[in-house]
C-alpha cells in the first residue's frame, strides 16, 4: 500500500509555498486544506505534465539541459515508486503537485526547484484533471461499446420474441423483445456522442497559464500541448485556470447515461418480479433474504438504479461549487475532483454490472407471449384494419374498436376470441380477414415503418449497429 505520513519534517515542507509565513498551519487547517487523499489519483497525469513542462523549459533555454536531465531522471524514479507503492504521500504537503515536487527535491536537489518555473499549481491542476478525464472518457467509451454489443446479442437472438409494449406501465401494443433492447442501444449511442463531444472541448492545454495572467518567460505552450496530446493551448489564461465546464460537461453526460442505465435497471426489477416473470437472473447477479428462503432479489439492478442518484448528485455538487466563483482560481475549486472521480467510479461499475446482467439474462418467452396478448393489445390493429380495408376514417374506426373492446370485455373474451357475428353487430364492414391482424405476432410484424418493431426491422438494425461497432 502507498503510505501517508505527517511528520514534523513534513510540516516544515510548507517552505515550498511558505516564505510569507513563520509558523506551520494548525492541524484543522491542514486537514481542510489537504487534497492528497483525493488527487493522488492524478499522479500519472501530474508526472506527464511535469515531464512535458521540463522539456519545454529546456528547449526554450529557460533551464539548462543538465537540470532537465536531472528532473526527468527524478520524475521517472517517482513514477516507479508510485507504481510500486513505495511513495510516501503526506497530507502536510497538501496535494499531488507538492508531494511530487518535494520528493523530486529529495532525489535530485536544487534542480528540482527549477521545474516550477513559468507555471503554478493553478494551471497544473487544471491540466492534470483534463488529462485524467481524457483517459477516463476512453475507459467509459469502451464499457459502453461492450454494453451495446451485449444488448445487440440479445436483440438478434430475440428479434422474433414478442412482448407487451407499455405506456403509463399499462399494456399498449405488442413489440419485439429485440426492439426493446435496441432502444437502449440507441440511447447508449447518444451517450457515447455526448462523451465524445465533451472530450473534444476538454482537449485544450491550460499549462503555461500560470496562476492567472500567463508568464513573462518565453515559453512555448504549443510544444507542451503537442507533447500532452492536446489540440491547442487555451487562448485565455484566466479561463484556463478557472473554468471547470469540461468537468461539468462530463458529469452531465455521466448523469444522462446513468439515468438510461437506471431505467433499464428498473425494468429488470419489474420483469424479474413474480407478477411479471418475464426474465430471470442467475445466482451471479441475485441475492437472497436473511429471513425468507424463497427470495431471489435483483440487488445488482437496484444498486445501479441507486447509483444514478449518486452521479446526478455529483453533478449538482460541482455546479454548486462553481456557481458563485469570480475569476480566477478559488480554493473552492479543490472540491472539483472528488465528484468527478466518484461519478466515474459509479458509472464504470454500473456499466459493468448492467453488461453482466444482460449477458446473464434468462428470457421467459412463454410469459412474454402470454402478456403480449392481454389487455386488448391488438385494438389498434383492429382500428387500422378498418381504415385500411374498409376505408373508415380513423376517428370512426377508433370509436368502433372501442365498442368492440367493451363488448369483448363484457364477455370476458379477447378480441380474437369474439365471433365475427359479434363484431359485425358493431360494424358490418368487418369480415373474417380481420382475424389475421388480431394476434400479437401479426401486430408486431405489421409495424414495418422505419424505426418500427417488426422483427425484420430489428434484424436490419442489428446488422447496421454491428457494422457501426465493429
Q: How far apart are CA 421 and CA 427, in angstroms?
A: 10
> Is 289 noted as a catalytic residue in this protein?
yes
The CA distances from residue 226 to 56, 59, 222, 269, in Å, are: 11, 14, 6, 48
164 three-class SS: strand
- Annotation marks residue 399 as catalytic: no
Q: Are 93 and 13 in contact (CB under 8 A)?
A: yes
Catalytic residue among 27, 64, 282, 289: 289
Written as nine digits, the cell of 237 is 489564461
Query: What are the cell numbers at 92?
Result: 502536510
Contact 188, 214 (CB under 8 A): no
Question: Is the CB of residue 48 less than 8 Å from the CB of residue 105?
Answer: no
Q: Do the beta carbons of residue 21 and residue 11 sit within 8 Å?
A: no
Q: How far, in Å, CA of 69 to CA of 75, rounded? A: 10
Nearest 10 degrees: Cα torsion 53, 54, 57, 61:
-160
DSSP secondary structure letter of residue 182: H
What span, in angstroms and rounded, lies between the C-alpha atoms of 262 and 305? 4
Helix 96-108 and helix 65-83, axial crossing angle in degrees, nearest 10: 120
Alpha helices in 203-326 (DSSP H): 221-227, 237-242, 245-271, 299-322
How far is the C-alpha of 272 from the C-alpha of 301, rounded, in Å? Answer: 10
Question: What's the CA gap between 172 and 186, in Å, rounded?
Answer: 21
Q: Which residues are catalytic?
A: 168, 289
Amino acid at each position: 500500500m502507498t503510505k501517508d505520513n505527517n511528520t514534523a519534517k513534513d510540516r516544515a515542507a510548507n517552505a515550498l509555498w511558505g516564505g510569507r509565513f513563520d509558523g506551520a498551519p494548525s492541524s484543522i487547517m491542514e486537514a481542510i486544506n489537504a487534497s492528497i487523499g483525493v488527487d493522488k489519483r492524478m499522479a500519472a497525469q501530474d508526472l506527464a505534465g511535469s515531464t512535458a513542462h521540463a522539456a519545454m523549459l529546456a528547449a526554450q533555454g529557460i533551464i539548462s539541459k543538465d537540470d532537465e536531465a536531472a528532473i526527468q531522471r527524478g520524475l521517472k524514479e517517482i513514477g516507479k515508486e508510485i507504481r510500486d507503492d513505495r511513495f510516501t504521500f503526506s497530507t502536510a504537503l497538501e496535494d499531488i503537485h507538492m508531494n511530487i515536487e518535494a520528493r523530486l527535491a529529495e532525489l535530485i536537489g536544487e534542480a528540482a526547484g527549477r521545474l516550477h518555473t513559468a507555471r503554478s499549481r493553478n494551471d497544473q491542476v487544471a491540466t492534470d484533471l483534463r488529462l485524467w478525464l481524457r483517459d477516463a472518457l476512453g475507459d467509459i467509451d469502451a464499457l459502453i461499446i461492450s454494453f451495446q454489443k451485449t444488448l445487440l446479442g440479445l436483440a438478434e437472438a430475440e428479434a422474433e420474441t414478442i412482448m407487451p409494449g407499455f405506456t403509463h406501465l399499462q399494456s399498449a401494443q405488442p413489440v419485439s423483445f429485440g426492439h426493446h433492447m435496441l432502444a437502449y442501444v440507441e440511447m447508449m449511442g447518444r451517450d457515447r456522442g455526448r462523451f465524445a463531444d465533451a472530450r473534444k472541448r476538454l482537449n485544450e492545454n491550460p499549462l503555461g497559464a500560470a496562476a492567472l495572467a500567463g508568464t513573462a518567460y518565453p515559453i512555448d505552450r504549443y510544444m507542451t500541448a503537442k507533447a500532452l496530446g492536446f489540440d491547442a493551448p487555451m487562448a485565455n489564461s484566466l479561463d484556463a485556470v478557472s473554468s471547470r465546464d469540461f468537468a461539468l460537461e462530463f458529469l452531465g453526460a455521466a448523469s444522462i447515461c446513468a439515468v438510461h442505465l437506471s431505467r433499464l435497471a428498473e425494468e429488470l426489477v419489474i420483469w424479474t418480479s413474480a407478477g411479471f416473470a418475464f426474465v430471470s437472473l442467475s445466482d451471479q447477479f441475485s441475492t437472497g433474504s436473511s429471513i425468507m428462503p424463497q427470495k431471489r432479489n435483483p440487488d445488482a439492478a437496484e444498486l445501479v438504479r441507486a447509483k444514478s442518484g449518486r452521479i446526478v448528485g455529483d453533478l449538482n455538487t460541482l455546479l454548486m461549487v462553481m456557481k458563485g466563483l469570480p475569476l480566477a482560481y478559488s480554493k473552492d475549486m479543490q472540491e472539483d475532483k472528488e465528484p468527478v472521480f466518484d461519478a466515474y467510479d459509479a458509472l464504470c461499475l454500473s456499466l459493468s454490472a448492467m453488461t453482466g446482467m444482460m449477458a446473464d439474462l434468462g428470457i421467459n418467452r412463454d410469459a412474454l407471449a402470454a402478456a403480449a396478448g392481454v389487455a386488448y393489445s391488438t385494438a389498434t390493429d383492429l382500428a387500422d384494419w378498418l381504415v385500411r380495408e374498409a376505408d373508415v376514417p380513423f376517428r370512426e374506426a377508433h370509436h368502433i374498436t372501442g365498442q368492440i373492446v367493451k363488448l369483448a370485455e363484457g364477455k370476458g373474451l379477447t378480441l380474437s376470441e369474439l365471433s365475427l357475428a359479434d363484431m359485425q353487430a358493431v360494424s358490418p364492414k368487418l369480415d373474417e380477414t380481420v382475424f389475421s391482424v388480431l394476434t400479437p405476432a401479426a401486430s408486431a410484424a405489421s409495424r414495418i415503418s422505419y424505426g418500427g418493431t417488426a422483427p425484420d426491422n430489428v434484424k436490419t438494425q442489428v446488422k447496421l449497429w454491428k457494422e457501426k461497432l465493429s
